[in-house]
């Protein structure tokens, strides 16, 4: 775990430093957009297809989807109850709901799980995200952002889902898996080569996305409850569900670590698109990602 966290931290910090010093006059936001587009459209679908084509898909896949959906819904519910009690409304409420509900399940979860538990855990991160979290993000998350933000959603939820290349790759991988279609050696080598670029580019682009904004003290009252939900309360709930569903030790550790991920970086794009409080969201991402370097090893130690 410590080696995985250290490697991830090095790549994230490298992205932060690149943003700060701008080598060769490069623009960090343009570079991040190019890298994330490359990963999202080309490299990540290759990894998803590779993993799900060969992963054991049975009852555990259904359990993972249920746990992932429960994690997202619980985060939303806890944040809504707390902030409504505090009288929070408007775009701030939409921002904290988005940050509390969805963690960085793939961009950080995948490299951490693979580094801490082994290559088999890649399938857990991908299923956790694509079987429940991403569909909920593009349905419930988009509806919440549209309701509380300044801009309204254009098009249907189905249209949004159909625009996600990793979901198409997941459907293809599951179909090929169940049909027991053999993977040729040349295709395996090609997919492995493409998949190898996913993790470092994900982590580096995460660092490029982290930016500190002025006036952060005024937003701590909104940021701290979200961070507590994401890093502490959500994994506690998932741990309880894992025991109830009788997951084995390794799988239980994997899903709890997934649930303990900091707020997702992709939320910055959604905040910009729907007119939510991007400054507040950026602060939550920075703080939760930094604190996750402490809480993730603690969860790993707790789970043995």
Question: For the segment 13-66, what is each residue's pLDDT rounded down to a tens digit?
Answer: 898 899 888 888 888 888 888 888 888 889 989 999 998 998 888 888 899 999
Do 81 and 63 meet the contact criterion of CB atoms below 8 Å apart?
A: no
pLDDT at 229: 97
The confidence band for 270, taking pLDDT boundaries of 50, 70 and 90, is confident
Residue 31 CB neighbours (<10 A): 17
Residues 168-207 pLDDT 10s: 999 999 999 999 999 989 999 999 999 888 888 888 888 8
pLDDT at 282: 83
Q: Is the pLDDT of residue 101 over 70?
A: yes
Mean pLDDT (the chain) is: 88
**How many residues can be counted in the chain?**
304
Q: How far apart are CA 36 and CA 202, in angstroms?
A: 7
pLDDT at 273: 83
Residue 286 CB neighbours (<10 A): 20
Instruction: Give the position of tokens 């904290």.
Output: 96
Give the HSE-up count for residue 180: Cα atoms under 13 Å, Cβ half-sphere. Answer: 0
Domain limits, the chain: 2-14+27-206+216-303
pLDDT at 121: 92
> If you ran DSSP here, which 8-state letter would residue 103 be given?
B
Quick one: average pLDDT of 203-212?
A: 79
Highest mean pLDDT among 60-74, 149-163, 191-205, 209-223: 60-74
Contacts with 235 (C-beta within 8 Å, 6 or more apart), sequence order: 256, 257, 259, 260, 299
Residues 103-134 pLDDT 10s: 999 888 988 998 889 989 999 999 999 899 98
Q: What top-level class would CATH report for the domain 2-14+27-206+216-303?
A: mainly alpha
Do 296 and 112 meet the contact criterion of CB atoms below 8 Å apart?
A: yes
DSSP secondary structure, 246-283, as one string: T--HHHHHHHHHHHTPPBPTTHHHHHHHHT--HHHHHH
pLDDT at 55: 83
pLDDT at 261: 96
The confidence band for 215, taking pLDDT boundaries of 50, 70 and 90, is low
Do 256 and 285 meet the contact criterion of CB atoms below 8 Å apart?
A: no
pLDDT at 223: 92
């Amino acid at each position: 775990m410590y080696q995985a966290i250290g490697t991830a931290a090095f790549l994230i910090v490298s992205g932060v430093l690149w943003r700060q010093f701008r080598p060769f006059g490069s623009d960090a936001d343009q570079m991040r957009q190019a890298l994330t587009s490359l990963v999202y459209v080309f490299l990540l679908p290759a990894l998803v297809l590779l993993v799900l084509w060969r992963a054991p898909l049975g009852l555990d896949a259904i359990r993972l989807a249920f746990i992932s959906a429960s994690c997202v819904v619980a985060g939303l519910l806890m944040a809504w109850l707390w902030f409504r009690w505090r009288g929070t409304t408007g775009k701030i409420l939409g921002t904290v709901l988005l940050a509390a509900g969805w963690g960085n399940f793939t961009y950080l979860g995948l490299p951490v799980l693979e580094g801490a538990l082994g290559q088999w855990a890649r399938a857990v991160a991908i299923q956790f995200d694509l079987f429940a979290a991403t569909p909920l993000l593009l349905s419930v998350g988009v509806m919440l952002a549209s309701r509380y933000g300044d801009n309204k959603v254009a098009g249907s939820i189905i249209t949004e889902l159909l625009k996600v290349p990793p979901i198409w790759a997941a459907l293809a991988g599951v179909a090929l898996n169940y049909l027991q279609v053999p993977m040729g050696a040349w295709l395996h080598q090609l997919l492995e080569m493409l998949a190898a670029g996913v993790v470092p580019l994900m982590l580096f682009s995460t660092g490029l996305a982290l930016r500190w904004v002025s006036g952060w003290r005024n937003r701590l009252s909104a940021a701290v409850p979200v961070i507590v939900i994401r890093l502490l309360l959500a994994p506690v709930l998932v741990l309880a569900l894992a025991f109830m569903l009788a997951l084995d030790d390794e799988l239980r550790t994997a899903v709890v670590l997934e649930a303990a991920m900091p707020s997702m970086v992709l939320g910055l794009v959604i905040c910009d698109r729907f007119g939510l409080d991007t400054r507040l969201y950026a602060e939550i991402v920075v703080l939760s990602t930094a604190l996750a370097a402490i809480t993730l090893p603690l969860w790993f130690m707790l789970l043995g």
